[in-house]
Amino acid sequence: MESLVDTYIKNVSLGKIQREKAQEELLTRFDALRISVEKKRRKLLFSKSPVTPKGIYVWGGVGCGKSMIMDMFVASLKVAVRRVHFHSFMQEVQSSLNLARQSKVKDALVPVVKKITDELNVLALDELQIKDITDAMIVGRLFEALIKGGMTVVITSNRSPIDLYKNGLNRDLFLPFISFIEANFDVFEVSGVKDYRQTLIAGDKVYFSPLNLENRDCMDLIWSNLTGNSSHEFTLTFKGREIRFPFYKDGVARFDFFEICGQMLGAGDYLAIIDAVRVLMVDNIPQLSRSNFNEAKRFVTLIDAAYESKIRFICSAAVEPEMLYTEGEGSFEFGRTASRLREMQSKTWLGTS
């Protein structure tokens, strides 16, 4: 069978990806893990408790290729494997725990973990972040039980283990999970790799006006280039509330204007959204006025969060930034937002010149 490194080199030669030393080194580790997982499957025929291969925890900045490499690993496996976004997985676990508690079981985690380990050999969790206290309090026991049950777990994250749930409520109770990750996973940082998504759009147009078919097609083309037209719904839990991302993949999110500014969201919500992405696309920004002051105010908050966090913002709008909000409360102050939108279009934004 062709190794993951061989497949990677082949894609490099075809011009599909750029060769990166850190990515290639990570692939050698995934190749070794793939061989170990396959060996374990064969040993199951003769032994009830073969050694579970140690999982891999991959971390690095958005766009460094960690999710791409994990996907290559998942696609190469001939065992039962599931690849799922960490937040989606934890929402499923929390729902299953609630159902198990209704049956008066002594420890609700036991049947939940048993169902997962009965169905899978490998669990691939993408974009691990701990934002919610309910996840923070259960994740340590969950992972320990999964691995004890014979599951090999691979993880990607934007953060090193020590930075998980940083400044979170009751973080002291979470610290044993960090020690568990460091002891039970091969922790690997993908460093020195430039964000390929920023490279794809560096210097390109990112603000499309007016709202017409041509500019909609331009937005669709950028989305296709960044995601391969592959996406899923994603729900972010923040302070007990759910924020729905209609289109999301690997740190790239896309909203219609009223999906992101028509909801009753505040500064904290927008910071949480921005923290989950590196590229944010917003379609159909209308010309704002007194009649939609609330939406205009939220849009200002969104742009402030995007600007301060230094993410790539791509949008389609009815008019140029300076004409977006010319009447109504706060229209004079909107000049700063227009200026920021202009700066975020520049070739020097994010150092891409």
What residue ranges define each of the domains in the chain, with the CATH number in brackets?
Answer: 4-189 (3.40.50.300), 196-351 (3.40.50)
Answer whether residue 229 shows pLDDT above 50.
yes
Contact partners, residue 54, CB within 8 Å, separation at least 6: 33, 152, 184, 185, 186
**Alpha carbon distance 229, 232 (integer Å):** 10
The confidence score (pLDDT) of residue 46 equals: 56
Residues 95, 101, 105, 106, CA torsion sign = positive
Q: In which band, very low, low, confident or very high, does the pLDDT at 139 lie, cut at 50, 70 and 90?
A: very high
According to DSSP H, which parts of 149-195 are helical?
175-184
What confidence category does residue 353 fall into, taking pLDDT thresholds of 50, 70 and 90? very low
> Cα(336)–Cα(57) distance, rounded to whole angstroms?
41
- 291 versus 1: the higher-pLDDT residue is 291
**pLDDT number for residue 199:** 53
User: Helices (DSSP H) in 164-292: which residue ranges?
Assistant: 175-184, 196-201, 213-227, 257-261, 267-275
pTM equals 0.68
Confidence of residue 338 (pLDDT cuts 50, 70, 90): very high
**Helices and strands of the chain, counted as H and E runs:** 13, 11
Confidence at residue 79, expressed as pLDDT on a 0 to 100 scale: 92
According to the model, what pLDDT value does residue 194 have?
A: 62
Cβ burial 94-123 (10 Å sphere, 16+ → b, else e):
eebbeebeeeeeeebbeebbeebbeebbbb
CA angle, 181 as apex, 242 and 156 as ends, to 5°? 55
DSSP strands (E only) in 119-231: 122-126, 152-157, 185-189, 207-208
As a whole number of angstroms, the distance between CA 232 and CA 253 comes to 10
For residue 202, pLDDT beyond 60: no
C-alpha–C-alpha distance, residues 277 and 253, integer Å: 7
Interval 136-158 mean pLDDT: 92
- How does pLDDT run across 7-39, given as a tens digit for each residue? 999 988 988 778 889 999 999 999 999 999 988
59-117 pLDDT, tens digit per residue, is 987 668 888 899 999 999 999 999 988 877 888 898 899 999 998 888 999 999 999 99
pLDDT computed for residue 25 by the predictor = 94
At residue 349, the pLDDT reads 76
What is the spatial distance between Cα 247 and Cα 265, in angstroms, rounded to a whole number? 18
Residue 280 pLDDT class (50, 70, 90 cuts): very high
Other Cβ atoms within 10 Å of 258 Cβ, number: 14
Contacts of 181 (CB under 8 A, 6+ apart): 57, 143, 161, 164, 187
Does position 50 have pLDDT exceeding 80, yes or no? Answer: no
Q: What percent of the chain has pLDDT over 90?
A: 54
Q: Please give the residue that has the higher pLDDT: either 177 or 158.
A: 177
Q: How far apart are CA 325 and CA 332, in angstroms?
A: 9
Q: How far is CA 333 from CA 258, 296, 297, 306, 338, in A?
A: 22, 11, 10, 17, 9
Q: Which H/E stretch holds residue 42?
A: helix 21-43
Strand partners of residue 247:
254
Q: Which of 46-50, 90-94, 244-248 has the lowest mean pLDDT?
A: 46-50
Distances (CA, A) of 119 to 42, 114, 250: 17, 9, 25
Residue 186: beta bridge partners?
A: 56
Residue 343: DSSP 8-state: H
